[in-house]
Amino acid sequence: MMTETVNNEPILEHLKAIQAKLARMAIDIADIKTDNRAHQSLTTGLVQIEGLNSEQIADLQARLDRIERRLELGD
């Protein structure tokens, strides 16, 4: 009976390479999450500003309508 020697070194090197890739992917995912949070904050701010602008435009439109009525200006 012959004893065969199994060399696990290629498998271990391959697994180490996979582990390194997974570590880089984990860092990339963390960066993406951080960027996503920043974009969400920015979007929330823009929506709030848009809401304020809409309110201001509505207020100006109401004032303009009152002025037109007082001056008896019609379309």
- Domain parsing of the chain, residue ranges: 37-75
**Res 75: pLDDT:** 64
Q: How is residue 71 annotated by DSSP?
A: T
d(CA 64, CA 61): 5
**Res 60: pLDDT:** 97
User: What is the tens place of the pLDDT at every residue in 17-64?
Assistant: 999 999 999 999 999 999 999 999 999 999 999 999 999 999 999 999
- Residue 8 has φ and ψ, to the nearest 5°, of -90, 0
DSSP codes, 2-20: PPPPP--HHHHHHHHHHHH
- Give the pLDDT band (50/70/90) at residue 73: confident
Helices (H) and strands (E) in the chain, counts: 1, 0
